[in-house]
């Protein structure tokens, strides 16, 4: 079992690696089963993994599995659990009295509503507003917790009393997922469209993943995270402006292998 | 497309049938593909469906699909989405300002904490406590919503301001699921261990299911919902006390078919 | 229920649309639930669908569902069922004697082994070899079927006798899948890396999909099927060779909306 | 990583444990996260696991994961892969020439077709027929493999030539699955309705599972594998014939705990 490690996230949360199974080598083994005798030869692990990643041969990546223990506010957890291909055990507020722990952003962490992007916050609030808002938010959470306790003292069942608790309250869960689906989670939740709070968790998860499967991580950055998908029209518009020889030279200069240069040219100049 | 229908649930929620695909007949067709030429004969639909249900041949039940539109408090939705084999689109509190609508149980609807079952509420609160608790709960929600609005007015992004909103606030979602997984949902959420609030939703969903696939529903009640699973030790203890002939007679009297009587006897007296 | 239609595939197979639920409108409705009040305005359906597709907001596409009845050789079905997010009922060779129907490619349909791509066939066999191979293949299947019948006549159980049957024999199945996962299937199985035989089925499935959700199909072609994903290195190499103004002009000339032109430029010249 | 171990199955197959993550303790840890502070007390691990199993609280069992390497005939693999909640990498007959290895049952292993159960084989063939059938089956497989080789020599692509190969040919795959879904697989595939050949594989898998999670296995046998589900009518028929006191005494004598005796009585005499 991997040495448990914990990365703090937000003001009171964390991501802890509970366990992991498999690594870069396991992916190669599993892929080689698929290819049988035919490819047992000298292909390097890194090259095979890179090939699998850029051609979206995803099944070998499912052979690696991670288990995390996470503490996060409910509103983050609600986004997190939209990813259905994972196993989850979460604290039940029916069984247990939830603790008095809320996400309380500092004034500096408060964002204004973006006018362009309806779903996003961006930029910082003016200082005075930020101070007031942070205080207001913290007070709201303190007050509501007092009421939760009053309801419990009046004898109201935990499962009903909790309905006053805010989605900023912290909860904890075990979360187990395979690497393929984990990378999908990371692609979406490391993206700048994701809410800053869940992005902070995604960065912590990414650290554990990178440490466990460094070859995969390199290919993931190259072919997924920092790659860009260009639509048919964009490809058509680009094609007219690119000189194939110059592009080929630039690709070689960047150190791409022969087969990758060929693939890259085919993307732009091959048939749809 | 099915005629849209809406069943009110709790104080402000509902379940609305948006659409459905397939019915009892579809299940029979799909099952007959599995059995090919071999069983195209005179087996009745009801008998075939009953056979599939009691032998847990679940795949034909996946051929029927339902789409619902639901309005429910977040704490109910959190339980609901633990069922991962469904498609979901929910209101985003990043995009939209959530409305001022909370689950506000009446004093009569408030339950006391069960001492036996750590996760359950049971029985009613004494009248005075119930009155106070209901008022307190409603006040908590009103107050917190005022603070949510203040935060928005201060310019805080919706995605952050919502962190003060309680899990008793109403949200809405589209929910699409196949019949097999829907029956699994219903078995768990109609059960008396489920929280009363989600049980109310399950009953509404059940009405739509029963109307759409009446033959399935009958077999589901007989073989799943009102069936009981007896452990190996319980079967062993029972076996000694049952007179096979008397049991057989009782089963026949209850109108069970020959093959079902045989199966029933085999369960108790057959080899493990 | 949709009018049943059948498209013949290969020499004896077919794809038949059994039923479908939802269409372009349904996707829009489901997406609008997510966006709540905030975006009920004048956004056009096509624009919203295109936005969802290019930003990989996939959940609304799960709201549309298709049921097909397919007849295909086992080796095709084995590839098909690697897609796990679908519901399936297939003929059982334990229940039924399989029919004497095999995939028998014509000499023209036989491909040679590719030397470049270890998994592919490409190009045609020389005429003489093709004639011999087609005859040999057909004879092999006839002979083996005679032996299957002999085994059955000797009293061998169907479930064991079938072990001599080749993976070229036809089987039938019901297949139900949501549009999001169906598009994923099509992206992989319409690709020129997919085996020609399953590609023929994918084209038939695609016809039904295109007819049912024409707006989705248009966006799928633009943003997925004919799009290309360029790795981080490729983007870096391209960036140096593209004149932003000229590219912008070409995009506008191609008729892209303002926001799409902005997005396209950001992909190439924005921060990673 | 667990010490790799291999269990031979059928004439040429095997199940090998590649790796596993988690054990009985992990399930308890994960469950305790769900119950939070509320139940950190003296409950024993075995009791908690038994409670989870008999109340079908399945999510903690998903926290344990197994990876197997399996060699089995294609007809077995086709049944196996109907279980979709697993990760799989299989040899590709497009990439590689499959080896000359077929399932060749001995005369003693050949079964006759059951007349009662349309899908099953049962009993042995008469000796003469069994000898002929076994020889015939082996000859069919040898012949067909010769033709496969001829097709390859004529230059036919592997992906097409393989269409003559029988479903009795051996293939290999990596198979990764969580314990909850693995137990579901075992319940179905250890059952006497399952084909004898896949049952042999299920028994091998079961050995690895039992060794890894002995507490889970004990509860699985008691509450699932050797339990019986009685329909509503069967329960009603039984109820009239059972003397509650005598049944209670028998349950106590069998060593059941107080709470289990209470649960057992409730099943038979409680409200539906």
Q: What is the pLDDT, as a whole number, of residue B162?
A: 96
Residue A33 near residue D173, CB atoms below 8 Å: yes
Would you say B54 is a known binding-site residue? no
Range from A168-182, C258-272, D74-88 carrying the lowest mean pLDDT: C258-272
Q: How far apart are CA C128 and CA A127, in angstroms?
A: 84
How big is the CA angle at D205 (ends D204 and D208), to the nearest 5 degrees? Answer: 95
Q: Shortest CB distance from B34 goes to which of C26, C39, C90?
A: C90
| Residue D256: pLDDT over 90 | yes
Closest CA to A184 of A77, A96, A35, A80: A80
**In chain A, where does DSSP find H-type helix?**
24-35, 45-54, 74-80, 127-153, 158-161, 179-189, 196-212, 214-220, 232-239, 244-253, 258-269
| Residue D1: pLDDT over 60 | no
C15 & C31 share domain: yes
How far is the first Cα of chain B from the last one, in angstroms, to the nearest whole number?
47
Tell me the residue range of the domain where B241 lies.
232-269
Query: Chains that contact A by 3+ CB pairs under 8 Å?
Result: B, C, D
| Residue C1: pLDDT over 50 | no
Binding site, annotated residues of C for dUMP: 79-82, 90-94, 162, 189
Binding site, annotated residues of C: 59, 79-84, 90-94, 162, 178-180, 184, 189
Residue B92 near residue B81, CB atoms below 8 Å: no
A109 & A198 share domain: no
Residue B27 near residue B61, CB atoms below 8 Å: yes
Q: How far apart are CA C198 and CA A62, in angstroms?
A: 24
Cross-chain Cβ contact D59/A88 below 8 Å: yes
Length of chain B: 272
| Residue B4: pLDDT over 80 | no
Q: Three-state SS across A142-157?
A: HHHHHHHHHHHHCCEC
pLDDT, one tens digit per residue, over B248-261 is 999 999 999 999 99
**Look-up of token digits 């639509």:** A231
Residue C149 near residue C165, CB atoms below 8 Å: no
A92 & A123 share domain: no
pLDDT mean over B209-235: 97
Closest CA to C227 of A230, A263, A53: A230
**Look-up of token digits 């409680």:** D270
Q: Distance (Å) from the C-alpha of residue B30 to the closest C-alpha of chain A?
A: 27
Cross-chain Cβ contact B30/C89 below 8 Å: yes
| Final residue of a structural domain among C167, C188, C215 | C167
Would you say B180 is a known binding-site residue? yes
For strand B111-113 and strand B87-90, is the pairing parallel, antiparallel, or unpaired?
unpaired
Q: How far apart are CA B106 and CA B91, in angstroms?
A: 26
Query: Is residue C59 less than 8 Å (CB to CB) from chain B?
Result: yes
- The Cα-based distances of A255 to A48, A55, A270, D209 in angstroms read 17, 19, 22, 48
Q: How far apart are CA B271 and CA C19, in angstroms?
A: 44
Closest CA to C119 of D141, D162, B187, A182: D162
Q: Which of B86, B95, B154, B189 to mutate to test the interface with A (most CBs of A within 10 A)?
A: B154
- The Cα-based distances of D222 to B177, D87, D270 in angstroms read 32, 28, 22
| Residue A38: pLDDT over 80 | no
Q: How many CA atoms lie within 13 A of C99 on its CB side?
A: 14
Q: Shortest CB distance from C36 goes to which of B38, B87, B95?
A: B95
Query: What ipTM was estimated for this complex?
Result: 0.93
- The chain-wide mean pLDDT, for chain B, equals 92
C45 & C137 share domain: no
Q: What percent of chain C has pLDDT over 90?
A: 85
Q: Distance (Å) from the C-alpha of residue B179 to the closest C-alpha of chain A?
A: 19
Query: Chains that contact D by 3+ CB pairs under 8 Å?
Result: A, B, C
Q: How far apart are CA A58 and CA A85, in angstroms?
A: 14
Q: Distance (Å) from the C-alpha of residue D266 to the closest C-alpha of chain B?
A: 10
Closest CA to A191 of C237, C271, C231: C271
Q: How far apart are CA B197 and CA B201, in angstroms?
A: 7
| Final residue of a structural domain among C195, C212, C227 | C227
Higher-pLDDT residue of C120 and B172 is B172
How big is the CA angle at B86 (ends B81 and B89), to the nearest 5 degrees? Answer: 75
Q: What is the pLDDT, as a whole number, of residue B2?
A: 47
Give helix D232-239 / helix D258-269 axis angle, nearest 10°: 100
Would you say A62 is a known binding-site residue? no
Q: Distance (Å) from the C-alpha of residue A134 to the closest C-alpha of chain B?
A: 9
Q: What is the pLDDT, as a whole number, of residue B115?
A: 74
Assign B42 a pLDDT band (cuts: 50, 70, 90).
very low
pLDDT mean over D56-74: 97
Would you say D162 is a known binding-site residue? yes
pLDDT mean over B68-91: 96
Query: Is residue D163 less than 8 Å (CB to CB) from chain C?
Result: yes
Q: What is the pLDDT, as a whole number, of residue A271?
A: 65
Query: Is residue A188 less than 8 Å (CB to CB) from chain B?
Result: no
pLDDT, one tens digit per residue, over C230-266 is 999 999 999 989 999 999 999 999 999 999 999 999 9
Q: How many CA atoms lie within 13 A of B135 on its CB side?
A: 6
Would you say A81 is a known binding-site residue? yes
D68 & D155 share domain: no
- The chain-wide mean pLDDT, for chain D, equals 92
Assign C3 a pLDDT band (cuts: 50, 70, 90).
low
pLDDT mean over A128-141: 94
Q: What is the pLDDT, as a whole number, of residue B215?
A: 95
C212 & C245 share domain: no
Closest CA to C17 of C70, C89, C64, C63: C70
Using a CB-CB cut-off of 8 Å, the residues of chain C touching B18 are 29
pLDDT, one tens digit per residue, over A205-240 is 999 999 999 999 999 999 999 999 999 999 999 998
Using a CB-CB cut-off of 8 Å, the residues of chain A touching D65 are 21, 65, 176
Q: Which of A87, A94, A96, A161 to mutate to test the interface with D (most CBs of D within 10 A)?
A: A87
Q: Is the dihedral of CA D252, D256, D258, D259 positive or negative?
A: negative
Dihedral class, residue C3 (left if φ above 0, else alpha if ψ from -120 to 50, else beta): beta
Q: What is the pLDDT, as a whole number, of residue A3?
A: 52
Residue A147 near residue B136, CB atoms below 8 Å: yes
The three-state secondary structure class of A112 is strand
Closest CA to C242 of B221, B72, A250: A250
D81 & D176 share domain: yes
Would you say D84 is a known binding-site residue? yes
Q: How far apart are CA A39 and CA B80, in angstroms?
A: 47
- DSSP per residue, D180-245: HHHHHHHHHHSSTTS-HHHHHHHHHHHHHHHHH-HHHHHHHIIIIIT-EEEPHHHHHHHHTT--HH
Catalytic residues of C: 189
Give helix A45-54 / helix A24-35 axis angle, nearest 10°: 70
How big is the CA angle at B34 (ends B29 and B35), to the nearest 5 degrees? Answer: 95
Q: How far apart are CA A195 and CA B85, in angstroms?
A: 25
Closest CA to A130 of B146, B160, B163, B95: B160
| Residue A262: pLDDT over 90 | yes
| Residue B131: pLDDT over 70 | yes
Residue D117 near residue C92, CB atoms below 8 Å: no
Q: How far apart are CA B171 and CA B93, in angstroms?
A: 9
Closest CA to C263 of C11, C110, C56, C113: C56
B46 & B155 share domain: no
65-104 in chain C: CB under 8 A from chain D: 73-75, 78, 81-82, 84-85, 88, 92-95, 102-103
CB count within 10 Å of CB D6 equals: 12
Cross-chain Cβ contact B163/A114 below 8 Å: no
Q: Which of C4, C34, C162 to mutate to test the interface with B (most CBs of B within 10 A)?
A: C34
Using a CB-CB cut-off of 8 Å, the residues of chain A touching B160 are 105, 110-111, 121
B150 & B211 share domain: no
| Residue B240: pLDDT over 80 | yes
**Domain at B223, CATH number:** 3.30.1360.170
The three-state secondary structure class of D26 is helix
Q: What is the pLDDT, as a whole number, of residue D35?
A: 66
Q: How far apart are CA C248 and CA C254, in angstroms?
A: 10
Q: Please, which residues bridge with residue C13 across strands? A: C9
* Domain count for chain D: 3
Range from A163-172, C122-131, D6-15, D252-261 carrying the lowest mean pLDDT: C122-131
Q: What is the pLDDT, as a whole number, of residue B271?
A: 65
C176 & C83 share domain: yes
Q: How far apart are CA A112 and CA B157, in angstroms?
A: 5
pTM: 0.95
Query: Is residue D267 less than 8 Å (CB to CB) from chain B?
Result: yes
pLDDT, one tens digit per residue, over A74-127 is 999 999 999 999 999 999 888 889 999 999 999 999 999 877 777 777 788 999
**Look-up of token digits 């596993």:** D20
| Final residue of a structural domain among A125, A147, A167 | A167
Residue A155 near residue B125, CB atoms below 8 Å: yes
Q: What is the pLDDT, as a whole number, of residue D233?
A: 97
- The chain-wide mean pLDDT, for chain A, equals 92
Q: How far apart are CA A93 and CA A160, in angstroms?
A: 9
A161 & A38 share domain: no
Q: Which of C164, C173, C174, C177 to mutate to test the interface with D (most CBs of D within 10 A)?
A: C164
Query: Is residue D37 less than 8 Å (CB to CB) from chain B?
Result: no
Using a CB-CB cut-off of 8 Å, the residues of chain B touching C37 are 96-97, 99
C255 & C130 share domain: no
**D189 belongs to the catalytic site:** yes
């Amino acid at each position: 079992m991997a040495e448990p490690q914990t990365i703090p996230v937000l003001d009171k949360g964390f991501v802890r690696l509970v366990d992991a199974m498999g690594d870069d080598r396991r992916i190669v083994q599993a892929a080689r089963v698929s290819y049988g005798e035919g490819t047992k030869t000298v292909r390097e692990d890194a090259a095979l993994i890179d090939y699998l990643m850029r051609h979206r041969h995803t099944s070998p990546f499912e052979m690696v599995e991670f288990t995390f223990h996470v503490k996060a506010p409910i509103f983050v957890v609600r986004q997190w659990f939209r990813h259905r291909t994972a196993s989850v055990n979460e604290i039940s507020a029916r069984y247990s009295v939830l603790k008095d722990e809320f996400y309380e952003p500092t004034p500096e962490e408060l964002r204004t509503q973006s006018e362009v992007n309806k779903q996003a916050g961006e930029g910082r609030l003016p200082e005075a507003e930020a101070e007031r808002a942070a205080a207001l938010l913290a007070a709201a959470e303190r007050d509501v917790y007092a009421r939760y306790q009053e309801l419990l003292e009046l004898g109201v069942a935990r499962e009903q009393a909790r309905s006053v608790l805010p989605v900023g309250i912290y909860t904890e869960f075990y979360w187990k997922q395979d690497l393929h689906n984990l990378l999908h989670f990371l692609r979406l939740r490391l993206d700048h469209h994701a809410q800053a709070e869940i992005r902070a968790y995604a960065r912590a998860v990414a650290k554990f993943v990178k440490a466990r499967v460094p070859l995969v991580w390199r290919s993931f950055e190259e072919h997924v995270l920092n790659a860009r998908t260009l639509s048919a029209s964009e490809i058509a518009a680009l094609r007219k402006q690119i000189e194939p020889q110059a592009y080929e030279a630039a690709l070689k200069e960047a150190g791409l292998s022969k087969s990758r240069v060929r693939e890259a040219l085919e993307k732009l100049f091959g048939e749809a």
